[in-house]
């Protein structure tokens, strides 16, 4: 059946990050008319901020006049760092693209629902090709320091160069050379090779980082996908009474406007939620509460994972080497079976993060730890006044620091709920609940101290981790997990939302286990897999009824519907 012309679009994709970009391109290739609604701005080499002090072009808080691409959200259990732009988190991400270890498919609510270990490799291959993944060829002083420390700590054999989505010159070739599209047979944009400036997380100004606007979204727009930037989705409602079988209306406002918010209404046959773990949870909670999508599973917000992360670091005051040189995450080590540490950096001059750094402090969270921290600061100031002042002095922080990003592939999760906080009872917000995620990973702290010892520097923690016992993560995942029924999750094994027709979730919220590695490649591969089940527009029947919970019947109908579709790019 061909798509009904009375709809503005066949598919509306909400969010243009990893899941959204894959969805947009693959659906367009299958012949659908696709729109992408993205609340963030479009970025080019010219309008990216030079350093993190250019707060208004780095941070996203439109109501305060900050219209950047990076956001921090503070919850009782975790501080979540995330991206907000055309290209989602890819504009600010460090472009580390690692495959999730196989054991993750045996953990969490997705275990046993598909033959993941057999299916996922080909989707990882496609995702890696599209994102231009290579083994990092550029090692900076911070990577050498990580290696030296790993060797001194007995885990030197686990040291590895990260896999990154960065266009790098071959050994011996000059850097910052511009070439016609090197990735898509000439169909993509021209690119320049990386100059190791370490600026990936401030947005690459040299066209070397493989952001989504240079691959998936670029190709999607060439195939007619319309991207609506600065457009926030505030409502999604089924048009009829058949749970989305008659299509949806999607309401938007201009995200960067204060007063004239330019409300618009679009109609479509199908919707893909791809607003990230946090964004999709927030939107679905709001829509369930206001009655637009009352049938969303009660499991929404459950099993939110932080990748069990902790951010620590070392500042080497007066360091002869420029620790900001290299790519943002150049290398990593495994200090034990479950604990993974990467060497991270910001570019020279991007010192704003120093405001959150302080002296490393061990010990159990709470008042005891704060007291210990105060004692450490006091003692250090008395014993080494110059060294201590240097740790707190913002200027030169990025040049003199290596951030250690510690991740653990251990089970552990929190819950997000839609509640009125005690301090603001006028409306409901997303709030976190559950057992606190540990902020203190003793073996990671010991490793940071070793780095400090070898480099002559001072080890650092994040201030919120000590003061409020709240860890920070750039890798919030889960909340709409894959499961066998709405009693256990929000979407089925093909990302179809339980209770609705022609409605999907394709972003980090479906990830159903702690990955122990940076998640973007897994999110991309999962989206490739989800899209591979959608038939071409010419044979669409528009009845992807995940409201049918009998999985035997679902499986039978799926195999009848399925048209194998190898991605064409
Ligand atoms: C500083 C930093 C560095 C990182 N480095 C890495 C790394 O090296 N490797 C890695 O794997 N991961 C990294 N990450 C994490 C990575 O960015 C995320 O895991 C990834 O972007 C999640 O992909 P997604 O598809 O779930 O959503 P996103 O990429 O977050 O995209 C979601 C998009 O939806 C939009 N949106 C949300 N709500 C709405 C709405 N209501 N209407 C319209 N649009 C909406 C948002 O603006 C956003 O652009 C990093 C993150 C940060 C913050
Ligand atoms: S190191 Fe610099 S040039 Fe290389 S990808 Fe990152 S920002 Fe771009």
Question: Closest Cα to atom 14, ligand 1: which residue?
Answer: 93
327 CA to middle of ligand 2, Å? 6
Mutational test site, ligand 2, from 166, 202, 330, max ligand atoms within 8 Å of CB: 166
Q: Which of 258, 257, 250 is nearest to 234 (CA)?
A: 250
Q: Which residues contact 551 (CB under 8 A, 6 or more apart)?
A: 484, 485, 492
Confidence tier at 6 by pLDDT (50, 70, 90):
confident
Instruction: State pTM to two decimals.
Output: 0.92
Q: How far is CA 458 from CA 162, 317, 403, 448, 449, in A?
A: 25, 8, 12, 9, 8
474 CA to middle of ligand 1, Å? 9
Q: How far is CA 349 from CA 72, 215, 443, 530, in A?
A: 20, 29, 31, 41
**How high is the pLDDT of residue 234?**
97
Are the C-beta atoms of 494 and 533 separated by less than 8 Å?
A: yes
Q: Is the CB–ligand 2 distance for residue 198 below 6 Å?
A: yes
- Token pair belonging to 266: 């679009």
Please tell me the distance from the alpha carbon of residue 329 to that of residue 142, in angstroms, as a whole number.
Answer: 9
- Token pair belonging to 25: 């391109």
What are the φ/ψ torsions at residue 311 (nearest 5 degrees)? -105, 120
Please tell me the distance from the alpha carbon of residue 156 to that of residue 334, in angstroms, as a whole number.
Answer: 9
Q: Which residues contact 454 (CB under 8 A, 6 or more apart)?
A: 145, 148, 149, 152
Residue 475 annotated to the active site: yes
Question: Closest Cα to atom 8, ligand 2: which residue?
Answer: 204
Least confident of 104-108, 424-428, 468-472: 468-472
% the chain with pLDDT above 70: 94
pLDDT in tens, 60-95: 999 899 999 999 999 988 889 999 999 999 999 999
Please tell me the distance from the alpha carbon of residue 534 to that of residue 494, in angstroms, as a whole number.
Answer: 9
Higher pLDDT, 307 or 519: 519
Rounded to 5°, angle at Cα 407 from 195 and 479: 105
**How high is the pLDDT of residue 554?**
44
**How high is the pLDDT of residue 5?**
54
What is the DSSP pairing of strand 34-37 with strand 9-14?
parallel
Please tell me the distance from the alpha carbon of residue 68 to that of residue 43, in angstroms, as a whole number.
Answer: 9
Least confident of 218-227, 325-334, 390-399: 390-399
Per the rule left: phi > 0, alpha: psi between -120 and 50, beta: everything else, 357 is beta
Asked whether residue 383 carries a pLDDT value surpassing 70, the answer given is: yes
Please tell me the distance from the alpha carbon of residue 521 to that of residue 405, in angstroms, as a whole number.
Answer: 18
Q: Among the bound ligands, name the one nearest to the CA of residue 209.
A: 2
Query: What mean pLDDT comes out for the span 95-112?
Result: 94
82 CA to middle of ligand 1, Å? 5
**How high is the pLDDT of residue 567?**
34
pLDDT in tens, 29-67: 999 999 999 999 999 999 999 888 999 999 999 989 999
Catalytic residue among 77, 163, 413, 475: 475
pLDDT in tens, 403-427: 999 987 666 789 999 999 888 888 8
Range of 331-340, 419-428, 467-476 with top mean pLDDT? 331-340
Strands, E assignment, 3-139: 9-14, 34-37, 60-61, 66-67, 70-74, 79-83, 134-135
Q: Among the bound ligands, name the one nearest to the CA of residue 199.
A: 2
254 CA to middle of ligand 1, Å? 20
pLDDT in tens, 509-566: 999 988 888 999 999 999 999 999 999 998 888 776 554 443 334 444 444 444 333 3
**How high is the pLDDT of residue 250?**
98
3-state SS assignment for residue 342: strand
Mutational test site, ligand 1, from 83, 163, 287, max ligand atoms within 8 Å of CB: 83
Q: What is the largest CA-CA distance in the chain?
A: 77
Asked whether residue 4 carries a pLDDT value surpassing 90, the answer given is: no
Q: Among the bound ligands, name the one nearest to the CA of residue 93.
A: 1
User: What atom in ligand 1 is closest to the CA of residue 518?
Assistant: 11
Q: Is the CB–ligand 2 distance for residue 164 below 6 Å?
A: no
325 CA to middle of ligand 2, Å? 10
Query: What mean pLDDT comes out for the span 242-262?
Result: 92
302 CA to middle of ligand 2, Å? 36
Count of CB atoms situated within 10 Å of the CB of 195? 19
Q: Is the CB–ligand 2 distance for residue 387 below 6 Å?
A: no
Q: Is the CB–ligand 2 distance for residue 132 below 6 Å?
A: no
pLDDT in tens, 320-329: 899 999 999 9
User: What atom in ligand 1 is closest to the CA of residue 231?
Assistant: 43
Range of 74-78, 117-121, 565-569 with top mean pLDDT? 117-121
Q: How far is CA 546 from CA 135, 245, 249, 492, 530, in A?
A: 40, 11, 19, 7, 14
84 CA to middle of ligand 1, Å? 7
Output the ligand 1 site: residues, CB below 6 A: 14-20, 37-40, 81-85, 88-89, 92-96, 201, 232-233, 274-277, 279, 283, 329, 474-475, 507-508, 518-520, 523
Are the C-beta atoms of 176 and 192 separated by less than 8 Å?
A: yes
Q: Which residues contact 92 (CB under 8 A, 6 or more apart)?
A: 69, 70, 83, 85, 201, 202, 203
Count of CB atoms situated within 10 Å of the CB of 487? 11
pLDDT in tens, 147-206: 999 999 999 999 999 999 999 998 777 778 899 999 999 999 999 999 999 999 999 999
What is the average pLDDT value for the chain, to the nearest integer?
90
**How high is the pLDDT of residue 566?**
34
Q: Among the bound ligands, name the one nearest to the CA of residue 168.
A: 2
């Amino acid at each position: 059946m061909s798509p009904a012309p009375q709809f503005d679009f066949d598919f509306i994709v909400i969010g243009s990050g990893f899941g959204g970009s894959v969805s947009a391109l693959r659906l367009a290739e299958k012949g659908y008319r696709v729109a992408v609604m993205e609340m963030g701005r479009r970025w080019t080499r010219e309008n990216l901020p030079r350093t993190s002090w250019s707060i208004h072009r780095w941070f996203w808080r439109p109501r305060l006049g900050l219209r950047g691409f990076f956001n921090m959200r503070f919850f009782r259990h975790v501080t979540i760092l995330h991206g907000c732009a055309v290209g989602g988190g890819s504009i600010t991400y460090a472009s580390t693209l690692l495959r999730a270890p196989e054991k993750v498919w045996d953990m969490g609510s997705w275990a046993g629902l598909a033959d993941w270990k057999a299916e996922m490799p080909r989707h990882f291959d496609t995702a890696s090709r599209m994102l231009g993944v290579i083994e990092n060829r550029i090692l900076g002083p911070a990577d050498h320091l990580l290696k030296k420390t790993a060797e001194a700590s007995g885990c030197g054999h686990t040291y590895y160069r990260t896999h990154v989505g960065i266009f790098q010159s071959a050994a011996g070739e000059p850097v910052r050379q511009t070439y016609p599209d090197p990735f898509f047979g000439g169909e993509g944009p021209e690119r320049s090779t990386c100059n190791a400036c370490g600026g990936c997380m401030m947005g690459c100004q040299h066209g070397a980082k493989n952001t989504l606007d240079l691959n998936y979204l670029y190709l999607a727009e060439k195939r007619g996908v319309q991207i609506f930037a600065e457009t926030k989705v505030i409502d999604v409602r089924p048009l009829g009474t058949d749970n989305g079988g008659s299509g949806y209306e999607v309401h938007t406002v201009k995200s960067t406007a204060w007063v004239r918010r330019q409300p618009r209404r679009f109609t479509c046959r199908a919707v893909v939620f791809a607003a990230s773990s946090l964004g999709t949870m927030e939107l679905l909670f709001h829509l369930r509460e206001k009655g637009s999508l009352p049938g969303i599973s009660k499991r929404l917000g459950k099993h939110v994972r932080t990748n069990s992360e902790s951010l620590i670091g070392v500042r080497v005051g007066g360091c002869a080497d420029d620790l900001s040189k290299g790519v943002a995450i150049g290398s990593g080590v495994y200090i034990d079976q479950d604990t993974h540490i990467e060497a991270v950096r910001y570019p020279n001059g991007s010192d704003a993060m120093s405001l959150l750094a302080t002296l490393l402090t061990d010990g159990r969270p709470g008042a005891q730890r704060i007291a210990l921290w105060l004692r450490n600061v006091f003692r250090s100031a008395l014993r080494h006044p110059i060294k201590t002042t240097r740790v707190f002095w913002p200027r030169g922080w990025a040049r003199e620091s290596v951030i250690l990003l510690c991740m653990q592939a251990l089970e552990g999760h929190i819950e997000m709920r839609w509640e009125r906080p005690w301090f603001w009872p006028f409306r409901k917000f997303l709030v976190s609940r559950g057992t606190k995620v540990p902020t203190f990973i003793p073996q990671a702290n010991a490793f940071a101290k070793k780095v400090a010892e070898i480099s002559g520097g001072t080890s650092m923690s994040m201030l919120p981790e000590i003061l409020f016992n709240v860890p920070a993560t750039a890798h919030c995942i889960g909340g709409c997990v894959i499961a066998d029924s709405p009693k256990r999750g929000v979407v089925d094994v093909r990302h179809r939302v339980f209770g609705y027709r022609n409605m999907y979730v394709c972003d980090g919220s479906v990830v159903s286990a702690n990955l122990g590695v940076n998640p973007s490649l897994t999110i991309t591969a999962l989206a490739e897999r989800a899209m591979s089940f959608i038939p071409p527009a010419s044979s669409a029947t528009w009845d992807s009824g995940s409201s049918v919970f009998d999985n035997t019947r679902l499986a039978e109908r799926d195999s009848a519907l399925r048209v194998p579709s190898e991605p064409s790019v």
